[in-house]
């Protein structure tokens, strides 16, 4: 892939656990992606603004607090407000299957739960972005 994938890893809300987010950031870097990690306790607006400033292709959200049905859509709305509705949204954490399905119907990409192989996450992002970029070339 000629172009590097730029990924922002965000921790929205008051969730104070970031081991998983840091692990994913390291794995994505090992797969040749440029990764920006926002740190803990970010508002949806802060995450979206950083995504805009860093011109990212992907926003990955990590949450373990159970507030995913509130915070994930707020991040999406903040991205759209900034003209970044095209960004691939993904995430992970403790998210029940029915909530994952509901969020995916609202425009989120695949959401990953505990036990997901980190390699699978990196490969999914790479594959999804390659498909998106090919479609952009075809439409251009």
pLDDT tens for 16-64 read 999 999 999 999 999 999 999 999 999 999 999 999 999 999 999 999 9
Tell whether 57 is covered by a domain.
Answer: yes
User: Structurally, how many domains does the chain consist of?
Assistant: 1
User: Is residue 76 within 8 Å of residue 84, measured between CB atoms?
Assistant: no
Tell whether 1 is covered by a domain.
Answer: no
Tell whether 108 is covered by a domain.
Answer: yes
**pTM of the entire predicted model:** 0.95
Tell whether 70 is covered by a domain.
Answer: yes
Tell whether 65 is covered by a domain.
Answer: yes
Q: Give residues with Cβ within 8 angstroms of 120, minimum separation 6.
A: 112
Say which CATH number the domain at 41 has.
3.40.50.280
Domain that holds residue 119: 6-139
pLDDT tens for 82-138 read 999 999 999 999 999 999 999 999 999 999 999 999 999 999 999 999 999 998 878
């Amino acid at each position: 892939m000629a172009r590097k994938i730029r990924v922002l890893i965000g921790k929205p809300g008051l969730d104070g656990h970031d081991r998983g987010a840091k692990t994913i950031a390291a794995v994505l870097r090992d797969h040749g992606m440029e990764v920006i990690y926002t740190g803990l306790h970010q508002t949806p607006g802060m995450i979206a603004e950083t995504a805009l400033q860093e011109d990212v292709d992907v926003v990955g959200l990590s949450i373990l607090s159970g507030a995913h049905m509130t915070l994930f859509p707020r991040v999406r709305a903040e991205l759209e407000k900034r003209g970044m509705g095209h960004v691939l949204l993904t995430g992970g954490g403790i998210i029940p299957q029915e909530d994952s399905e509901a969020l995916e119907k609202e425009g989120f990409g695949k959401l990953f739960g505990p036990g997901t192989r980190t390699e699978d996450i990196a490969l999914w992002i790479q594959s999804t972005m390659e498909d998106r970029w090919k479609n952009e070339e075809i439409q251009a």
